[in-house]
């Protein structure tokens, strides 16, 4: 983390365009992920829909409610040294309020979607898996979400000192969030490693689940930043930019990782289509090559591979004293 001396390294830097770029990338990737997940469920039939799919959509809608305030911050001088106007300051305050509720909902819904997916895949037969599943569920839904909502409501009503919230509340919430990220990340890996699968397939499954490490890293960075002394933070507008960027990246990554394991029907369909196309292409080339060889063997080619007819004596129509042999070659592949 940069020291206080680095605050003046770029005093006039405006981070609005950077936040817009990061937010737009997350918007595109998350939208593509939820759309692909929905299409994959459609391919498997209506009976494949479950609670995890509904929670994934809740996470996506909450993520959109988290993304829109980022665009508001970027267009209201919240991320530049230029002071915001009174109207812009009001917009920034409303954006903060929206994010304080949307971010926890997106995170909890995304993680619960992943948990319910694990429950469908692995069931709850193993005692350690069942205990861990319920423990994570209880920490996420009633506890962490209620804590975030309560603090946001108290701060908005002026009944909780914002300094206390950022000194104690935010670090506590951040580290609990990171702990649940790690728990959700480790849970499927612990189950998958004991499955009787080929090494490559097992590595692929674990790799998909391990992609959640990206969101865990973002969560860990935010948690560490929240306990650092204020003197070690960057300039206020950069600090806000980094929090907004890390927050939307973390929420978006959780949703994407919750959708990736469902996309197997799409990948299989794309792979089958690729194989059919490749097979058709190879078959066409093979038939074409066989036809040219057959034509040359029958005296219809000139030996150059161009398929031109050879002119010679025969019983065809006259052509300047010579007769051209005519043959219908449709039966040999044309």
Is 193 part of any domain?
yes
Asked whether the predicted pLDDT for residue 236 surpasses 60, the reply is yes
Asked whether the predicted pLDDT for residue 22 surpasses 90, the reply is yes
Residues 51 and 127 in one domain: yes
Compute the distance between CA of residue 144 and CA of residue 283 in angstroms, rounded to an integer. 59
In sequence order, which residues have a C-beta less than 8 Å from that of residue 179 and are 6 or more positions away?
139
Asked whether the predicted pLDDT for residue 246 surpasses 70, the reply is yes
Asked whether the predicted pLDDT for residue 332 surpasses 60, the reply is no
155-169 pLDDT, tens per residue?
888 888 877 777 788
| Domain final residue pick, 215, 231, 262 | 262
| Domain final residue pick, 207, 237, 262 | 262
CATH code of the domain covering residue 47: 1.20.1070
Residues 326 and 300 in one domain: yes
How many domains, in total, are found in the chain?
Answer: 2
DSSP state of 84: P
Average pLDDT rounded to a whole number, residues 249-265: 86
Is 97 part of any domain?
yes
Is 63 part of any domain?
yes
Residues 325 and 191 in one domain: no
Average pLDDT rounded to a whole number, residues 168-177: 87
Asked whether the predicted pLDDT for residue 330 surpasses 70, the reply is no
Q: What are residue 323's DSSP bridge partners?
A: 318
CB contact at 8 A, 209 and 189 = yes
pTM of the shown model: 0.75
| Domain final residue pick, 216, 232, 262 | 262
Is 3 part of any domain?
no
Residues 318 and 172 in one domain: no
What pLDDT shows up at residue 45?
A: 76
What pLDDT shows up at residue 111?
A: 93
Residues 31 and 135 in one domain: yes
| Residue corresponding to tokens 């612990």 | 190
Helix axes 127-138 and 170-192, enclosed angle (nearest 10): 160
35-94 pLDDT, tens per residue?
999 988 888 876 678 899 999 999 999 999 999 999 999 999 888 888 888 899 999 999
119: containing domain: 13-262
């Amino acid at each position: 983390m940069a020291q206080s001396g680095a605050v003046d390294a770029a005093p006039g830097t405006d981070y609005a365009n950077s936040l817009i770029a990061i937010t737009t990338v997350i918007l595109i990737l998350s939208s593509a992920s939820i759309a692909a997940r929905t299409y994959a469920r459609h391919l498997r039939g209506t009976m494949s829909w479950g609670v995890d799919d509904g929670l994934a959509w809740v996470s996506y809608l909450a993520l959109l409610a988290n993304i829109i305030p980022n665009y508001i911050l970027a267009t209201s001088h919240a991320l530049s040294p230029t002071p915001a106007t009174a109207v812009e300051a009001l917009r920034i305050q409303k954006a903060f309020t929206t994010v304080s509720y949307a971010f926890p909902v997106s995170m909890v819904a995304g993680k619960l979607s992943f948990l319910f997916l694990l429950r469908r895949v692995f069931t709850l037969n193993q005692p350690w898996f069942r205990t861990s599943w319920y423990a994570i569920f209880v920490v996420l839904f009633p506890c962490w979400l209620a804590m975030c909502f309560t603090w946001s409501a108290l701060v908005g009503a002026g009944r909780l000192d914002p300094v206390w919230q950022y000194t104690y509340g935010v670090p506590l919430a951040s580290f609990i969030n990171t702990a649940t990220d790690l728990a959700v990340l480790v849970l499927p890996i612990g189950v998958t490693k004991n499955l009787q699968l080929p090494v490559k397939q097992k590595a692929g499954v674990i790799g998909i689940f391990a992609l959640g490490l990206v969101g865990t890293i973002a969560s860990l960075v935010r948690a560490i930043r929240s306990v650092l002394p204020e003197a070690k933070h960057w300039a206020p507008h950069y600090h806000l930019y980094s929090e907004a960027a890390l927050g939307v990246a973390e929420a978006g990554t959780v949703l994407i990782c919750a959708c990736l394991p469902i996309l197997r029907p799409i990948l299989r369909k794309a792979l089958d289509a690729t194989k059919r196309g490749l097979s058709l292409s190879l078959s066409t080339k093979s038939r074409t090559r066989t036809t040219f060889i057959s034509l040359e063997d029958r005296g219809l080619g000139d030996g150059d591979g161009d398929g031109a007819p050879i002119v010679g004596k025969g019983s065809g129509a006259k052509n300047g004293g010579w007769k051209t042999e005519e043959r219908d070659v449709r039966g040999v592949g044309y």
